[in-house]
Structure 1
């Protein structure tokens, strides 16, 4: 089999780069064509409108996320949960990733008004909550987690992490994750000891493991490592 990306994959990569550069509201079919080295007429041959293409892109992104989840299905439950939590962490140098998620956030605001986009958003939400619920159920069966309300706990974890991501990309001063106008040394991201401050998503991820996940663990089970969880998801990114 060829390792060369298909035309459809090239177009989706172009959408990704165009959204990162221009955002949802301003991106045009020509911007996408420029990013994927395809003609605008070719894009319109496959997708009648920008909306058609962006809905297809949401489907592509969610399908990729489903593949990521399957790739870790056999990992130990606590490690899987740490990986899920780490998936939401934006480090200080993740400017491109933040720009992309800002564009996705713009797309999400269309959900109440656009049924096709809303269908994809519902699918994404079910994937996130379903993934955590599956991890918890597997962990309870394996004796790693104590008995809990799986659906309620999954909803809490997803809402906490998604809320942290939304806050970081909308209310903080750029990719360093520090509040605009916050006190501290600007050259070190607000730190006074020469080290950059943790991003907001990292702080919330650490708190999620400490305050939500660790109390779920059965007696004698070691707490999972956020660093290992982040590293696992980073490896996934590097092999795509």
Structure 2
């Protein structure tokens, strides 16, 4: 089996021209969260008496939440917790520093990414070993998140919901499970979803030239089907490629085509 680094770093770019290999942001950030959980579990075991372990009875998810999403009670508990345990405070600081990298402008983010190892305290560096190693091996793929912020979070969420329905419907036939999934998560067929509603502010790929453009530069067109008899394909193209689908332009091109003289 080929190493994932070889596939992502060399084979995919060669096979898929004009493509960028991007690490999924959710899984990248989870590496920092997992390292924090390791410190939490280690420090929890290290507390022998009941009075010392009292802070650890608070939910560890308070540590994993971003500061802006904490309630007032959680914020107070977190401050007290970080004062009581230096290792957890160091791990929490490292986790937040890593999260903040992807909120910075590109140049500052790259600089912070390369100097992140220096910000991790020695006491918790062993717990962050996996993250630090992958930052070195997958540097280009992780930094590609700055240019391609799209994630598959929605797909992961739907997959999790589908797995729950399948698990709860153990014993049902496939048609029944499929109907339950579609009834709960499928788009409303009565509502027409326009492709323009799915555009991002930046980084949208043209369906014709496959270059990236902003949402203001994209427009919806109908492309001819790949197979005769199939319906036309709706896609988004850039302004330059839009002219290729204008009826007047197409008529002019057809009029310039040489015609065969009847024998």
Instruction: Tell me whether the two structures share a fold, i.e. TM-score over 0.5.
Output: no
Decide which structure has the larger Cα Rg and report it. Answer: 2
Normalized per residue, which structure has more strand?
2
Higher RCO structure, 1 or 2 (CA under 8 Å, sep 6+): 1
Normalized per residue, which structure has more helix?
1
